[in-house]
Amino acid sequence: MNASTPSPRRAVIVSPTQGRHYSMGQMRAVFKADGAETDSRYSISEWWLGPGASGPGTHAHPEDHIFFVIEGTVSLFIDGQWSDAEQGTYALIPGGTRHDFENRGSARCGFMCLNVPGGFELSMPAIVQAFTNCEAE
């Protein structure tokens, strides 16, 4: 696409309260742009964890994750090692890499997550259901 060819996508400004919200106990995600908005090229979301909140458990998927910590300290498990990522930290997690995250602190923490390519957001209803089932047990 060159500069004279108009983009089929529209520019979007998303306010702090807008997005698709997913609650998973002490963890919540807000997807700000994905699917048609990004032509499935990526998805971008905020993730928030309450004090002492566990993450999803060690897992891997084909999409790359790019995390940027926006509040507090997020504990990241990447390639078999835990690291504390404080506010302002950037982390690249290539697709296929086993990883997890959690909040080991006494204050909430949050990070922005860019998934490339898009499509990860399609898994969110099943992820929410899995957390709901775990809480019910």
Q: Is residue 100 within 8 Å of residue 59, measured between CB atoms?
A: yes
- Residue 2 in any domain: the answer is no
Beta bridge partners of 44: 33, 114
- State the Rg of the chain over Cα: 16
pLDDT score recorded for residue 2: 56
| Number of structural domains the chain divides into | 1
Structural domain of residue 97, as residue ranges?
A: 20-136
Residue 130: which CATH number? 2.60.120.10
- Residue 31 in any domain: the answer is yes
From first to last of its 137 residues, what are the pLDDT tens digits of the chain? Answer: 455 666 678 888 999 999 999 999 999 999 999 988 899 999 999 999 999 999 999 999 999 999 999 999 999 999 999 999 999 999 999 999 999 999 999 999 999 999 999 998 988 998 898 888 876 66
- Residue 3 in any domain: the answer is no
